[in-house]
Structure 1
Amino acid sequence: MTTAHSEEALKALMLLSLDGDEAAYRRLLAALRLLLVGYYSRRMAAAAKADMEDLVQETLLALHSRRSTYDRERPFTAWFFSIARYKLIDHHRGRGGRRLAETELGEEIESDFSEDALTASVDVERLLHGLSPRQRELIRQVKLEGQSVADTASRTGQSESAVKVGIHRALKALAEKMRGTS
């Protein structure tokens, strides 16, 4: 399930917009505007909220002017929120809020959008891609989502033993792949 504000959905819109799809670009800007309002409202003092709309517009303009620098192989949200973060830092510095700006530099952008988490997610997906669809689903349900073997067995119509064996074989295949022996 992909939400309109997920990395996958936003990156797809960005890639389409880079390829000339104007409707995708308008949808991307609308989605990013909503994310920016939430992002800035959590990080700005009540007195500065009046400046929030200007900051949102500045960030979207910066995105527009830097679109050509986006590396299609990198996570989009990490790239975009780094622009947003630096716009916020510039805003605080312009108002003499150096201490607030320094605090912001040390803060993680968003737990769902940290570049390390996104990169790890991409790496996991690459690894899982080498497995059979059945093995991939077992690993996702039990190891990544934390579902029980019993629940997974009933959901997939397999015995608990078959699920355990499937997971064991999938993990063995992943280990071999990581060692480069497969």
Structure 2
Amino acid sequence: MRASEDQLRIWMIGGLDGDSGAYTALLNALVPMLRSFFGRRLRGAADDVEDLVQETMMAIHTRRGTYDRDRAFSAWAYAVARYKMIDHFRRTRTTVPIEGLEDILVAEGFEAATSARMDVDTLLGELSPKQARVIRETRIEGLSVAEAAERGAISESDVKVSVHRGLAALAKRLKGGT
């Protein structure tokens, strides 16, 4: 049975305060949680799962002083686990020689992505430069309205209106309107 977030937090705080029984209970509860976490992400790699559980347990132990008592314990523990998993992926990644790269990119859909980018560029080319710019910045690059406004030296309202009108014009164009 999985321990609740409150129980995990109580055990962690108890461990930080010197209660070895609470800390032992925490570590015992973490093992199945971490096995499940890594097992879902590394299907069929039982040895790697066990290695990552051990590495994460050691990291949690050595970094336990960084835990903020006012925050959820699980989020902190899973963050440590994610970093350990990222380290594992970096250690075990395979490299591909540059020869034959074009075939790999075609096989993995790189051409389709390039084609899609050209389609977006074509569509945005039908709009006013300001509309195209703010749509690209807010919808493709992920800038906030405030950031796009600052970058273009225009008001936030102008960004919102330009995005709305530009997207409406594109929708009309794609539906066959003029």
TM-score (norm 1): 0.50
Residues of 1 paired with 2:55 and 2:43: CA distance?
A: 18
Q: CA deviation at 1:4?
A: 4.8
Aligned: 1:68 with 2:62: no
Residues of 2 paired with 1:43 and 1:13: CA distance?
A: 27
Q: CA deviation at 1:49?
A: 2.0
1:24-79: CA deviations, max 9, x gaps? 11110010001001111100031x22121111010000000000111111111101
Counterpart mapping for 1:22-101 below 5 A:
22-46=20-44, 48-96=45-93
Gaps of 5+ in 2: 96-178
How has the CA–CA distance of structure 1 residues 34 and 61 changed in structure 2, closer, same or farther, with 3 Å as cutoff? same
Gaps of 5+ in 1: 99-182
How has the CA–CA distance of structure 1 residues 97 and 11 changed in structure 2, closer, same or farther, with 3 Å as cutoff? farther
Partner SS, residue 63 of structure 2: helix
CA RMSD in angstroms comes to: 1.6
Rg larger in structure: 2
TM-score (norm 2): 0.51
Aligned: 1:9 with 2:7: yes
Taking every aligned residue pair, what percent have the same amino acid on both sides? 48
Name the count of aligned residue pairs: 95
Judge conservation of contact 1:17–1:25 (CA < 8 Å) in 2: yes
